[in-house]
């Protein structure tokens, strides 16, 4: 009787291992590495959480945000840029985003035109960005101010007494939710989930021991099955 019940338990694990093994053998064709898991339950189980808040600036009609270790425009990630944000504004049909030592130029559609840094004359330690009374873009560092020409070629030290500096603003809830979902969804691939189910790691450290126990169970069933068969033959 015990052999039958153990066989049912083992069959359940054999089914899981067989299905996950079959799926994993086609990882490349199924593109499991690029498919992201959006299940809130699974993401929570893995401890993948989105930040509780964002630092956001309004640039024209666009929202520029630093969310965790990423920068977003209207809830869409700007890839390939550092995760710092000191201001953003709209000027001459270009969205200008200031970071600690970099200035990003974006199209009105949020596409990255260019990333300017120290090699382009951008000062280090930018704390604020804004427009002076003449409509010129100005940035403020810890010890001085700078203006830049319309082509972003020439940066000049200056003294700014009257400027409209970019200030943080409360992000609309719809964009925050979109950003939060994108942030969590980009952190867990379907391939990892399948591997963890196959190995038992989805249950944590004890899951691996569970799979070890299943292997022992397979051995016990195999040996006992042969023994039962052999004794009945006599």
Secondary structure (DSSP) of 173-234:
HHHHHHHHHHHHHTT-BHHHHHHHHHHTGGG-HHHHHHHHHHHHHHHHHHHHHHHHHHHHH-
Residue bearing the bigger pLDDT, 157 or 39: 157
Model confidence at 3, pLDDT cuts 50, 70, 90, reads low
Does residue 168 form part of some domain?
yes
Cα torsion angle, 74, 80, 83, 85, sign: negative
**3-state SS class at 154:** coil
Does residue 43 form part of some domain?
no
Total-model pTM: 0.68
Same-domain check for residues 7 and 79:
no
Residue bearing the bigger pLDDT, 169 or 186: 169
Same-domain check for residues 20 and 96:
no
Q: Which range has the worst mean pLDDT, 77-81, 132-136, 213-217?
A: 213-217
Q: How many domains does the chain have?
A: 2
Same-domain check for residues 196 and 100:
no
Task: Look up the domain containing 136 and give its range.
Answer: 55-185
């Amino acid at each position: 009787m015990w052999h039958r019940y153990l066989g049912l338990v083992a069959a359940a694990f054999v089914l899981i291992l067989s299905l996950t093994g079959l799926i994993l053998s086609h990882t490349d064709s199924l593109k499991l590495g690029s498919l992201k898991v959006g299940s809130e339950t699974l993401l929570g189980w893995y401890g993948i959480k989105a930040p509780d808040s964002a630092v956001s600036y309004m640039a024209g009609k666009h929202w520029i945000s630093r969310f965790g270790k990423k920068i977003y425009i209207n809830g869409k990630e700007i890839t390939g840029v550092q995760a710092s944000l000191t201001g953003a504004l709209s000027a001459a049909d270009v969205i200008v985003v200031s970071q600690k030592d970099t200035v990003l130029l974006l199209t009105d559609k949020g596409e990255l035109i260019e990333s300017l840094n120290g090699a382009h004359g951008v000062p280090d330690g930018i704390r604020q960005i804004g427009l002076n009374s003449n409509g010129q873009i100005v940035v403020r560092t810890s010890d001085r101010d700078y203006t830049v020409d319309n082509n972003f070629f020439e940066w000049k030290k200056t003294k700014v007494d009257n400027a409209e500096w970019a200030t943080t603003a409360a992000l609309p809830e719809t964009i925050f939710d979109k950003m939060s979902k994108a942030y969590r969804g980009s952190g867990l691939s379907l391939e990892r989930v399948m591997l963890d189910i196959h190995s038992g790691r989805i249950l944590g450290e004890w899951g691996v021991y569970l799979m070890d126990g299943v292997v022992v169970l397979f051995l016990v069933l195999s040996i006992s099955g042969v023994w039962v068969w052999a004794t009945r033959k006599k």
